[in-house]
Structure 1
Amino acid sequence: MALAIAWNSFFTLLTVVMAWGTAALWYRLGLASPWRQLVVGLWGVLILGLVTLALQGFRGAALAGQSLALLVLLTWWFRLTPTHDRPWADDVNYLATGEVTGSRLTLHHVRDFDWRTRDDATVRWETRSYDLDRLDSVDMIVSSWGRPGVAHVMVSFGFGGEDFVVFSVEVRRLRGERFSEIGGFFRQYELAIVATDERDAVRLRSNVRGEQVSLFRIAMPRQSMRSLLLAYVEEANQLAKAPRFYNTITANCTTLVFAMVRGIGAGLPLDYRLLVTGRLPSYAFKVGGLWPGYSLAELEIQGRIDQQARDAHDVPGFSRRIRQGVPGWEERGASSGPTPPI
C-alpha cells in the first residue's frame, strides 16, 4: 500500500512537471507558427498518452516514458542561455554602465528619449556625470496600469535638487515584442538595468501610456543613498558583462532592489508585498522607509504625480514641478530638506 502511494505521488509529480513543460515550450521554443503549436500539441498528447498508459496498469512503461521525455525537455531547458546579441527594442537597446573616479560618477548609455507614442520616440543615449558629494535624495516611483497588485517600481537619485537619474530594472524585449507576465516565468526575456533621465522615465508612463504614477521620498541617510546608488552601478556593470534572464518572481524590478538594499546592510524582512509590487509602498511604510510624519494614505494621495507630469510635459524644471506637494519635498520644492535616518 505504501509503495503504491509513493509510486502514485511520484508519477503525479512528474506529470505536473510535464504540464509545466507545456508552458515552457509555448513561451520559449524558438520555432515559428505553426510549428511551435504543433510541438506543444504533440507534447500535450504525450502527457495524456502516458497518463492513460499508467491508468491501464502499464506503470513501468508510463514512468519510463515520462523520465525519457523529461530528460529531453530539461536538457533543452537548461541549455537555454541569455544573450546580449539580439534585435532589442529601442528603449532597452543599451544597458547602463558606470564608473566612479573620486567623487564623480560617470554613467554611460543614460536614456533621454522624447516619447510621442509607446512605440515612437526621438532616440537619445547620453553619457552623464554626477557629483556624489551632492547626492541628497532617493525617491521610489511606482507606476500602475490597472491590474490589481501589479506595478513597475523605479528608483530616482537626486543631486542637490537639480539633477536626477532614474534606475529601472526592466524586461529586455525584442523589437516589436510585448511583455507577458506569464512569459516572464519561462525565460522568454533577458534582464535589463536602464538609467534614464527622469523626464523620460516618468512621461513615458504618465503622459504616453496613461498610467497612474506615484512618487515617494525615501527616508535614508546620505551614506546609505551613496551605497545604494553604487550598488545599482555595480549590478548594472555585472549585468552588462554577463546577461541574465528576467523572472517575474526572482529577478524583477523589486526583488533585485530588495537584494541590493539588503546588501548595503539594511535588515529588511521578507514579505509577500515584495512580489505584489503594487503593495510595495505599504511595505516600505511598514519598515519605516517612507518620509515620516504622514499616514500611508496621505503619502499615497499626495504622492500622485501623473497629472503634474502631464501638466509639466515640456516645461523647464520638470522634476521640480512633479514634486510640488509631495511629502518630503513640499517645503522647499525640489531642494532637499533634512534627511532623517531609517
Structure 2
Amino acid sequence: MAQVIGILVTLLLTLGMAWGAAALWFRLPWSRNRRRLAVAGWGIAALVLLWLGVRGQWLANATQLLLLVGLTTWWFRLRPAHDRPWSDDVACLATGEVRDNRLTMHHVRDFDWRTRDDAEVRWEKRSYDLDRLDSVDMIVSSWGRPGVAHVMVSFGFEGETFVVFSVEVRRLKGERFSEIGGFFRQYELAIVAADERDAVGLRSKVRGERVSLFRLRMPQSAMRSLLLAYVDEANALAESPRFYNTITANCTTLIFAMARGIGARLPLDYRLLVTDRLPGYAFKVGGLWPGFTLSELEAGGRIDERARRVHRAPDFSQRIRQRVPGWESLDRESLAQRQ
C-alpha cells in the first residue's frame, strides 16, 4: 500500500512540475531567451528532485511541493487587464445599449483588410431596429487543423443589415494565437462586433480559410434574447476583463452558455469542443434550417469562394447568402425553380 501511495505521489508531483514548466513558459513577462532559461532551470530542478524522491528522500518531495505552492500562488494572482498594447483588430471591445427598441452598438469593426496583419482601421457606431431583427446565422471558419474551427454568430435585420459577433483572443501586437497557450492564461478574452465584409472577408479572402454559413431556426423572441445576451456579455467584459480559455471560455462555450441562459435546452456534447463538428451538433438538436439533410446544408453553406469573388461588393452580405439553405429569397433562380 505504501508503495502504491509513493507511486501516486511521484506521478502527481511530476505532472505538477510539468504543468509548472508550461505555466512559466506561457506567462512569464520576459523575453524568449529569459523564459527558456527559467523553464530550463525549473526542468533541471524537477528532474533532480524527482530522482531524489524516487530514491526515498522525502525532503525532495517536500521541496517539489513547496515549489508548486509558490508557483500556484503566483498563478492565481495573475489578473487580466484592458490596458495593454493590443493588436488593432481587438483594440476596442464591443459595447451596446438599447433605447426605445433600438440597439446602438459602439466599436463595430469595419476594417478593409489588405493582409492578415495590415488593414485600414475603422471602428464605427451603428444602430439597429430590433423590430426588424428576423434572422440568425452561424458562421464556421476552419483552417485545416482537425477538430478546430472558429464560430461566429450573425444577426440580420430584414436581409439588409447584418452584425457579426465573434468571441476571440485579445492578442498583443505581433502576437500569434496558440491553442496550448489558451490553457495558460496567455490571452485575455474579446467580444468583437463586426461588419460581415470585415469578419467573413478576413477569413475567406485574406486568410484563405474554409467558411460556411448556416441559417438557424429560431423564433424572433429567441433571436432578440440571444442578441441582447451578446450585448450584456460584451458590456460585462468591457467592464471587467477575463482570461480566454481554450475549453471553458472560447467561441463556442460562451455561445452555449448564453443559449442556455435564455432558456434553450441544449445537451452537453463533445462537438462543443471539437468545433469543426459544431454544425452536426446544431443539426442534431434541430437548430439548423429545416427541410435539408446535414450534407445539403454543409454543401449549400460553403461561402468562402463566393466571398472572395464579391469581397468589395456593397451588397456583400446578400450575395454570399445566395443559394444558402434558408436564404432562397435572395436567389431568384433558385426561388423560381422552387415555385
TM range (shorter): over 0.9
In structure 2, distance between residues paired with 1:138 and 1:102: 22
Structure 1 match to 2:191: 193
* Structure 1 position 98 matched with structure 2 position 96: yes
Deviation at 1:4, TM superposition (A): 3.0
1:55 Cα shift?
1.9
Mapping for residues 222-233 of structure 1, pairs under 5 Å: 222-233=220-231
1:288 aligns with 2:286: yes
For the residue of structure 1 that corresponds to 2:167, the secondary structure is: strand
Q: Deviations over 1:224-250 (max 9, x none)?
A: 000000000000000001000001111
Aligned AA (2:314): P
Deviation at residue 8 of structure 1 after TM alignment: 2.4
Q: Secondary structure at the match of 1:252?
A: coil
The answer (yes or no) to whether the contact 1:320–1:333 under 8 Å persists in 2 is no
Q: Please show how residues 92-171 of structure 1 align to structure 2 within 5 Å.
A: 92-171=90-169
Q: Deviations over 1:59-104 (max 9, x none)?
A: x212211111011110111111100010000000000000101210
Do the aligned partners of 1:228 and 1:260 also contact (CA within 8 Å) in 2?
Answer: yes
Partner of 1:46: 45
| Aligned mates of 2:119, 2:329 — CA distance in 1 | 35
What is the match of residue 252 of structure 1? Answer: 250
Per-residue Cα deviation, 1:149-170 (whole angstroms, up to 9, x for no partner): 1110000000011000000000
Q: Which amino acid aligns with 2:37?
A: L
SS at match of 1:34: helix
Q: Would you say the 8 A contact 1:215–1:326 is kept in 2?
A: yes
Decide whether the 8 Å contact of 2:318 with 2:330 is kept in 1. Answer: no
2:302 equivalent among 282, 301, 304: 304
4+ residue runs over 6 A deviation: none
**Could you say what secondary structure the match of 2:328 adopts?**
coil
Q: Which residue of 2 aligns with 1:235?
A: 233
Distance 1:55 1:96 in 2: 53
Q: Could you tell me the percent identity over the aligned residues?
A: 71
Letter in 1 for 2:65: S
Contact preservation (8 Å) 1:99, 1:107: yes
Instruction: Name the Cα RMSD after superposition.
Output: 1.2
- Native 8 Å contact 2:102 2:130 kept in 1: yes
Q: Counterparts in 2 of 1:14-33, with a 5 A limit?
A: 14-33=13-32
- In the alignment of these two chains, the number of paired residues is 333
TM-score relative to the length of structure 1: 0.96
Counterparts of 1:320 and 1:331 in 2: how far apart (Å)? Answer: 10
Contact 1:165 1:198 (8 Å CA) reproduced: yes
Distance 2:331 2:156 in 1: 13
Contact 2:321 2:330 in 1 (8 A): no
* Shift of residue 15, structure 1, vs aligned partner: 1.6
1:340 maps to none
Structure 2 unaligned spans of 5+? none
Q: Tell me the distance in 2 between the aligned counterparts of 1:80 and 1:320.
A: 45
Of 262-271 and 6-15, deviating more is: 6-15
CA distance in 1, matches of 2:164, 2:330: 21
Q: Matched residues in 1 for 2:34 and 2:204: separation?
A: 39
